[in-house]
C-alpha cells in the first residue's frame, strides 16, 4: 500500500502518463501533432475526414477499395431516426445545443440493433455508426434550432459536405466544404485530452461505447476544453474592432480573466492546428468573406499578435485550435452554439479509437486521493450539537 505521507499529488493528472497508445502523438515542445505517424500538416494538405477516420480506427491509410467500402458503410448510417428527431425537437429552446447533442448521442444506443454483442467487431461497427451519425445529429440540431425541417442525407457527398448539406438544405460553397473537412480532421483526435480521458475512464468500467462517448461530450462542453471556440467568438464580437483589441486584452489580463482560445496543457508553443487555421483564415477570409467576418478575422489576428507578444515566449501561452476556429466558423455561417456539437461530432472519432484501443488491454481507472480530513470523530446526537 502507498504511504500517503510520502506520495506526490498530481492535481489534474498534470504530467502523468495514463496509458500507451499508437493513435496520436502530441509533441508540446516542438508543436507537432501526428495521427498514426502522419503529421497533421500532411493530412490537412492531402487527406479528408473519411480517410482520416479509417486511418485512426484501423491504424493505417486504406487502399482504394478499402476506403470505398469504409465510406459506403459510414454513409449508410447517416439517417437520423424519426424518434431521435422528435427527441431533439422536444428539447429545442429548453437546452443548449451541446446538451441536446449529449442527449441524442446517449439515445443512439436505442438504435444499435446488436447491443448484446460486445465483440471487438461489433464495437468497431458501433464506432463507425457513432462517427457517421453524430455529424448528422449536429446538423439536425442546428437545422431544427432555426425552425427548419429535417434534411435527408445526400450519400453522394463526403462527411463534411453532407454535414453542411443537412444543416443548410443546400450544397455549400466548395471553399466552405473544404474548410469543414479541415475542421473535422483537425478536431478529430488529440491523445488523452480531458474528453478522451473521460471516455476512457467510462469505458474502463466496461460500460458500453455509447455511455463512454456520452461522458466524453459532457467533458468537452466546458469552456476550458471544447467550449472555448464558442467563448472565443463571443470575445471577438465583444471586442468589436481591431482598434479595441489591445485595451480589451489588457483589461482582461489585469482582471485575471483567461483569453479563450489561448493556452494549452501540453503545447508550450504554437498549436500546429492553430497555425493551419490561421493560414486558412488569412488566405480565404481576407479575400472572400463579408465585411463583418473580415472584421472578426482582423480582430483575431490583432489579438493573436498581442497575446503572442505578451504571453507567448514569457508564459508559454499560445493560440490553440479553438481560437481561429471561431472566425472561420463565422465565415461558414455556422451558428456559434453549434461549434461544440461539431467538435463533439469530430472528436467522436478520437473517442472511439481510444476506447477500442484501450479495451485491447483494459484496466479500470481508479486513482487515489490523499485524505486530509479528520478521523474517528464521535457521533453527537442532533439535540446535543
How far lies 265's CA from each of 69, 108, 363, in Å?
Answer: 38, 32, 25
Stretch that binds ligand SDX, among 54-62, 157-165, 264-272, 357-365 (CB under 6 A): 264-272
Query: Is there a contact between 14 and 310 (Cβ–Cβ < 8 Å)?
Result: no
Residue 145 CA to residue 318 CA, distance in Å, equals 34
Query: H-type helices in the chain, by residue range?
Result: 40-46, 49-58, 64-76, 82-91, 97-107, 120-145, 159-168, 174-186, 194-204, 209-220, 228-239, 245-254, 272-280, 286-288, 291-307, 313-315, 321-331, 339-359
d(CA 116, CA 254): 56
Angle at which helix 97-107 crosses helix 339-359, to 10 degrees, equals 40
- Cα–Cα distance, 120 to 285 (Å, whole number): 44
Catalytic residue among 225, 229, 271, 354: 225
Q: Is 315 in the site for ligand SDX (CB under 6 A)?
A: yes
Q: How far is the CB of 156 from ligand SDX (least distance, A)?
A: 31
The answer to the question of residue 310 lying near ligand SDX (CB under 6 A) is no
Question: Residue 71 or residue 219: which is nearer to ligand SDX going by CB?
Answer: 219
Known catalytic residue at 322: yes
Is the CB of 190 or the CB of 275 nearer to ligand SDX? Answer: 190
Q: Does 300 bind ligand SDX (CB under 6 A)?
A: no
User: 228, 326, 328, 330: which one contacts ligand SDX (CB under 6 A)?
Assistant: 228
Of the candidates 265, 268, 294, 305, which one interacts with ligand SDX according to CB under 6 A? 265
Exactly one of 214, 320, 340, 346 binds ligand SDX (CB under 6 A); that residue is 320
Q: Is 25 in the site for ligand SDX (CB under 6 A)?
A: no
Cα 321 from Cα 185, distance rounded (Å) = 12
164 neighbors 177 (Cβ within 8 angstroms): yes
Our answer to whether residue 27 is catalytic in this structure is no
CA distance 284 to 278: 10
Q: What span, in angstroms and rounded, lies between the C-alpha atoms of 248 and 241? A: 10
Query: How is residue 184 written as a grid cell?
Result: 473535422
Single residue of 216, 261, 272, 327 touching ligand SDX by CB under 6 A: 261
Nearer to ligand SDX, 166 or 200 (CB): 200
The answer to whether residue 190 is catalytic is no
Interface with ligand SDX includes 278 (CB under 6 A)? Answer: no
Minimum distance between the CB of residue 317 and ligand SDX, rounded to whole angstroms?
A: 5
Is residue 312 at the binding interface for ligand SDX, with CB under 6 A as the rule?
no
Name the residue number minimizing CB distance to ligand SDX. Answer: 263
Q: Is 193 in the site for ligand SDX (CB under 6 A)?
A: yes
Catalytic residue among 187, 229, 322, 354: 322
If one asks whether residue 263 binds ligand SDX (CB under 6 A), the answer comes out as: yes
Catalytic residues: 225, 264, 322
Binding interface with ligand SDX (CB under 6 A): 190, 193, 224-226, 228, 258-266, 315, 317, 320-322
Amino acid at each position: 500500500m502507498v504511504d500517503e505521507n510520502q506520495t506526490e499529488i498530481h492535481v489534474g493528472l498534470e504530467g502523468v502518463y495514463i496509458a500507451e497508445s499508437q493513435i496520436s502523438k502530441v509533441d508540446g515542445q516542438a508543436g507537432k501533432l501526428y495521427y498514426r505517424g502522419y503529421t497533421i500538416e500532411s493530412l490537412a494538405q492531402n487527406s479528408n475526414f473519411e480517410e482520416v477516420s479509417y486511418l485512426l480506427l484501423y491504424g493505417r491509410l486504406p487502399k482504394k477499395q478499402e476506403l470505398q467500402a469504409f465510406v459506403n458503410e459510414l454513409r449508410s448510417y447517416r439517417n437520423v431516426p424519426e424518434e431521435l428527431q422528435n427527441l431533439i425537437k422536444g428539447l429545442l429552446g429548453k437546452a443548449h445545443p451541446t446538451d441536446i447533442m449529449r442527449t441524442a448521442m446517449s439515445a443512439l444506443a436505442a438504435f444499435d440493433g446488436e447491443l448484446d454483442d460486445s465483440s471487438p467487431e461489433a464495437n468497431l461497427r458501433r464506432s463507425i455508426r457513432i462517427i457517421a451519425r453524430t455529424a448528422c445529429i449536429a446538423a439536425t440540431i442546428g437545422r431544427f434550432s432555426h425552425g427548419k425541417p429535417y434534411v435527408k442525407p445526400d450519400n453522394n457527398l463526403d462527411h463534411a459536405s453532407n454535414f453542411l448539406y443537412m444543416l443548410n438544405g443546400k450544397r455549400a460553397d466548395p471553399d466552405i466544404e473544404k474548410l469543414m473537412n479541415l475542421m473535422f480532421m483537425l478536431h478529430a483526435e488529440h491523445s488523452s485530452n480531458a474528453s478522451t480521458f473521460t471516455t476512457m475512464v467510462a469505458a474502463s468500467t466496461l460500460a458500453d461505447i455509447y455511455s463512454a462517448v456520452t461522458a466524453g461530450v459532457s467533458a468537452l462542453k466546458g469552456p476550458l476544453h471544447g467550449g472555448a471556440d464558442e467563448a472565443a467568438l463571443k470575445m471577438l464580437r465583444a471586442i468589436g474592432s481591431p482598434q479595441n483589441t489591445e485595451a480589451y486584452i489588457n483589461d482582461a489580463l489585469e482582471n485575471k480573466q483567461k483569453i479563450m482560445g489561448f493556452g494549452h496543457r501540453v503545447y508550450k508553443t504554437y498549436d500546429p492546428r492553430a497555425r493551419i487555421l490561421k493560414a486558412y483564415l488569412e488566405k480565404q477570409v481576407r479575400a472572400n468573406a463579408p465585411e463583418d467576418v473580415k472584421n472578426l478575422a482582423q480582430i483575431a489576428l490583432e489579438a493573436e499578435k498581442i497575446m503572442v507578444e505578451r504571453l507567448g515566449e514569457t508564459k508559454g501561452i499560445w493560440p490553440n485550435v479553438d481560437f481561429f476556429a471561431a472566425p472561420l466558423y463565422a465565415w461558414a455561417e455556422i451558428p456559434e452554439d453549434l461549434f461544440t456539437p461539431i467538435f463533439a461530432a469530430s472528436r467522436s472519432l478520437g473517442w472511439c479509437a481510444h476506447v477500442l484501443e484501450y479495451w485491447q488491454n483494459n484496466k479500470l481507472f481508479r486513482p487515489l486521493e490523499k485524505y486530509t480530513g479528520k478521523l474517528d470523530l464521535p457521533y453527537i446526537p442532533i439535540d446535543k450539537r
